[in-house]
Amino acid sequence: MVDDNARELAIYHALKAVDEVAAALQAHLLEEHKAELERAAAHSTFTNSLKLLRQARERIGEGLRAVEADNIAVSDDISLRNEQPTDLSSQPITRQQ
């Protein structure tokens, strides 16, 4: 049997992975397909997909809060919360092709 902590950790990792995929898709729609972020934007397949992703990410957030993700994230080695902010002003700007 799996104890409650292990179950919550597994749920946390699954929800975080799904949220990261949704965030990547959301960024792709915004950057590559110029989907409109505003809720009053004209409907297109891209804006509809963006709306669905936003709803999914809200539900994922509810799930993460339910398993007290803030407490788990403290010990998560790959959590972005643990990264130190970098000073980008001293780094050269490169353009991706």
- Name the pTM for this structure: 0.68
List pLDDT tens digits, range 34-52.
Answer: 777 766 556 778 888 888 9
CA-atom Rg of the chain in angstroms: 17
Mean pLDDT, all residues of the chain:
78
Are 15 and 69 in contact by the 8 Å Cβ rule? The answer is: yes
Separation between Cα atoms, residue 23 and residue 40, nearest integer Å:
21
Separation between Cα atoms, residue 38 and residue 52, nearest integer Å:
13
Please count the other Cβ atoms lying within 10 Å of the Cβ belonging to residue 26.
19
**pLDDT string in tens for the chain (97-residue length):** 679 989 999 999 999 999 999 999 998 888 888 777 766 556 778 888 888 999 999 999 999 999 888 888 777 776 655 555 555 444 444 444 4
